[in-house]
Amino acid sequence: MGAIHLEDQASPKRCGHLGGVRLVDVDEMCAKYEVAVATRGDASMLVIGRTDAFKAAEGGGLDEAIRRGKRIAETGVDLVFIDGLTQRDHFKRVRDEVEGRLLASVVEIDAPAQTKAEELREMGYSIAIFALSGVLSAAGALRRLMSRLAEDGDTDAVFPEMMTYTELNRHVGIDHYHQLWDRYVPKRRGARKASAPPVRRKAHEDYED
């Protein structure tokens, strides 16, 4: 299963939690989602319709976000996503007033998320995403690493927090790529050398044939 995620911001765009976004008009927004639904081809491809009206620079707020959410639901998208929400009562009101399946984003804005995924499930949300959690975690780990490296000259203090080299290779499936290399690269090289005449290299081209 795959999904396409479209929003109603005007370019240039920005994160919905930053505020100050600019929106396209409602008719343009709806037309975009209707086209996506009509042309997706594979029915297993989900279309997610998002509005950033909650923190829009002009005419934004929860009322406008809900108004747009209702219109989005009428376009036939699979999921409606009102971005920028953090408070439980805002999520609850959206669920009470917008029909259809809803997606919520759980974010840590300078503190643990105010509304938990289990609460959203109980409200009736279909999907909760943690869009920033991985980035924030990785950035924090990188900052701690660089701080220790600058102070100590080595990474010993933070090594227990690291994934080992062997673990990294296992998680990315490096053995699979080694098998592909062993299976195809020698054959390709052999076939090329057997069928093609040697190529005269210029002096600066010191790589192997």
Fold assignment, 2-131: TIM Barrel (3.20.20)
Token pair 């989900």: residue: 46
Domain ranges of the chain: 2-131, 132-162, 165-195
Q: Which helix (H) or strand (E) holds 128?
A: strand 127-129
Q: Which helix (H) or strand (E) holds 77?
A: none
**Identity of the highest mean pLDDT range in 10-19, 27-36, 199-208:** 27-36
Q: Is the pLDDT of residue 209 over 50?
A: no
Residues 19-66 pLDDT 10s: 788 999 999 999 999 999 999 988 889 999 999 999 898 888 999 999
> Would you mind telling me the total number of residues written for the chain in this entry?
209
Q: Which helix (H) or strand (E) holds 187?
A: helix 174-195
Q: Is the pLDDT of residue 191 over 60?
A: no
CA distance 52 to 58: 11
Q: Which helix (H) or strand (E) holds 6?
A: strand 2-7
